Amino acid sequence: MTAGGQPPRGSIAETVQTTDGFLRHAGREFLVVLYTAVRSLKLYPIENAQVQKALDDLTATTKHLLDVEKEIELRMQGEFIFVNSTRLRLDLDNYASFSHILGVLRQSGIGAVRIDEGVERKQLQIFVSLLLSYAAKGVTATKVFELAQKLSDAGVTHIGVEPPLETDEDTEDEERQKEAAKRTYARSVAVTKEVINSIRMGRTANVKKVKRAVQAIVDQVLNNEASLMGLTTLRDYDEYTFTHSVNVCIFSVAMGKKLGFTRLQLYDLGMTALLHDVGKARVPVTILNKTTGLDEEEWRIMQAHPWLGALTLFAMRSHDELPYRTILVAHEHHMKTDLTGYPKVVRERALGIFSRIVSVADGFDAATTRRSYQTVPIEPDQVLREMWQNPKRGYDTVMVKALINLIGVYPVGTCVILDTFEIGLVAAPNPEGQQLNRPMVRIAVDADGGSVPPPGTLVSLTEQDESGAYRRSIVKVTNPERYGLTVGDYFV
Which residues contact Fe ion by CB under 5 A? 277, 362
State how far the Cα of 226 lies from the Cα of 406, in Å rounded to an integer: 10
> Smallest distance from the beta carbon of 65 to Fe ion, in angstroms?
44
Q: Smaller CB distance to Fe ion: residue 54 or 274?
A: 274
Q: Smaller CB distance to Fe ion: residue 144 or 283?
A: 283
> Smallest distance from the beta carbon of 386 to Fe ion, in angstroms?
17
Asked, as a colleague might, if the bond just before 455 is cis with ω within 30 of 0, I would say yes
Q: Smaller CB distance to Fe ion: residue 36 or 355?
A: 355
> Smallest distance from the beta carbon of 333 to Fe ion, in angstroms?
6
Q: Smaller CB distance to Fe ion: residue 361 or 445?
A: 361
Cα 147 to chain centroid distance, Å, stands at: 35
Beta bridge partner(s), residue 82: 75, 87
> Smallest distance from the beta carbon of 42 to Fe ion, in angstroms?
40
Contact between 355 and 329 under an 8 Å Cβ cutoff? The reply is: yes
Q: Using CA of residue 487, residue 490, residue 491, residue 492, what is the dihedral sign?
A: positive
> Smallest distance from the beta carbon of 56 to Fe ion, in angstroms?
47
Query: In a 3-state reduction of DSSP, which class is residue 72?
Result: strand
Query: In a 3-state reduction of DSSP, which class is residue 291?
Result: coil
Q: Smaller CB distance to Fe ion: residue 28 or 333?
A: 333
- H helix intervals, 369-394: 380-389
> Smallest distance from the beta carbon of 141 to Fe ion, in angstroms?
49
Name the residue type at position 191.
V
State how far the Cα of 53 lies from the Cα of 216, in Å rounded to an integer: 37
State how far the Cα of 450 lies from the Cα of 446, in Å rounded to an integer: 5
- H helix intervals, 137-168: 143-153
State how far the Cα of 328 lies from the Cα of 351, in Å rounded to an integer: 9
> Smallest distance from the beta carbon of 244 to Fe ion, in angstroms?
6
Q: Smaller CB distance to Fe ion: residue 80 or 185?
A: 185
The DSSP code for 449 is S
> Smallest distance from the beta carbon of 347 to Fe ion, in angstroms?
22
State how far the Cα of 225 lies from the Cα of 251, in Å rounded to an integer: 10
Q: Smaller CB distance to Fe ion: residue 58 or 248?
A: 248
Contact between 351 and 240 under an 8 Å Cβ cutoff? The reply is: no
Q: Smaller CB distance to Fe ion: residue 277 or 332?
A: 277
